[in-house]
Amino acid sequence: MEFGFTEEDEAFRAEVREWLSVHADGTQDRRTWERTLGKSGWIGLGWSESGYGNRTATLTQQVVWAEEYARSGAPPRSGHIGEKLLAPTLLAHGTDEQKARFLPPVAAGEELWCQGYSEPGAGSDLAGVRTRAARAGDGTYRISGQKIWTSLAHEADWCFVLARTDPEARRHHGLTFLLVPMDQPGRIEVRPIRQMTGTSDFNEVFFDGAHARAEHVVGGEGQGWRVAMSLLGFERGVSTLAQQVGFAQELSAVLRSAVRTGAVADPVVRALLVRQWAELRTMRWNALRTLGGSRDAGAASVAKLLWAGWHQRLGELAMLVRGARATVGPGDWSPSAPYELDAQQQLFLFSRADTIYGGSDQVQRTIIAERVLGLPREPKGVV
């Protein structure tokens, strides 16, 4: 099962490859790179005739762009949260004024966003959000609470925050979706979280009376759960296929390592390598099957279970084929560089979190059980 790319799609592919070969040189910082993408019209391809993106592209052309971008080795995106999550949410639930204010700067790569969902006591259980947003006398909201695992919060200009506006409401009731400016010294503090890899891709964000304007409530007060669930549905799609291009590149690197170390002579290792290859092909076919179709209540959960476990097993295999050398860093230890890792060591350590973030495996299985198989809902409050 593959897409039948048309002549127009292949012409589009040639244009994409040529542009990336010239511009994706890796010398620009991430914010400058977003502006470069925006200036050339590559942000907002999936906004489909909204009038706010740079150019329109068919679904197959969006796949072409995502896959070629992954293959090119272009810099990681800083603007994908605004482009892939906020923008579709505003197009579905935002007012005309909100769309006109926020979508053009995203399309231009001028404003970066982060996602204020998870909390220390409400990670996979999003309905347990405790961050409060109280209406002030001037009509604005004052937000107090903590968010965690907030990707790119240290770079973001804005954050879309799920907060509780009705403290008496339980669970998913009484939540509101707010657009909050991050430049509020003394009211918003961002603290990077150091990970096992030695990097800090995630952050804690503390809100202490942070301001949000009433006209920046999306979907209406108390309707945050509906908007938040809609946004989560946008997290998968064309990007899944691009993700798999990156996975294929990582698998190729592990295979080369197995050949180099001689581990490929082990029949068990060969079987594991073949399994990884076959499962990656299966994931691609599943992504193509569900792409652009009607929303399946369990499709996103199935996809998350498939790729998270696959990627974690790949990290383990990357260490297995290297044997004892996997425990040694690429450079000599020194006080100035005490924690250096190569790409496969980074893969192994970072992938330990794959089955937790974005909804843990346990949560995904519960969603499938309840919403697809129709099994009884899990009892609440049971330890």
The answer to whether residues 331 and 263 touch, using CB atoms and an 8 Å cutoff, is no
Task: State the distance between the two ends of the chain, measured CA to CA, in whole angstroms.
Answer: 44
DSSP 194-243: --TTS---EEEEEEEEEEE-GGGEES-TTBHHHHHHHHHTTSSSHHHHHH
Q: Which of 34, 67, 119, 235 is catalytic?
A: 235
Q: Give the H or E element holding residue 295.
A: none
**Active site annotation includes 235:** yes
At residue 15's C-alpha, the angle toward residues 11 and 19, to 5°, is 170
Q: Which of 332, 326, 331 is nearest to 345 (CA)?
A: 326
The answer to whether residues 191 and 149 touch, using CB atoms and an 8 Å cutoff, is no
Beta-bridge mates of residue 210: 143
Label each residue of 66-100 as H, E or C.
HHHHHHHCCCCCCCHHHHHHHHHHHHHHCCHHHHH
The answer to whether residues 17 and 70 touch, using CB atoms and an 8 Å cutoff, is no
Q: How large is the greatest C-alpha to C-alpha distance in the chain, in angstroms?
A: 72
Q: Report residue 344 CA to chain centroid gap.
A: 21
Number of residues that make up the chain: 383
Alpha helices in the chain (DSSP H): 7-23, 30-39, 59-72, 80, 87-93, 96-107, 224-232, 238-261, 267-290, 299-320, 343-350, 361-367
Please give the Cα distance from 102 to 99 (Å, whole number). 6
State the catalytic residues: 235
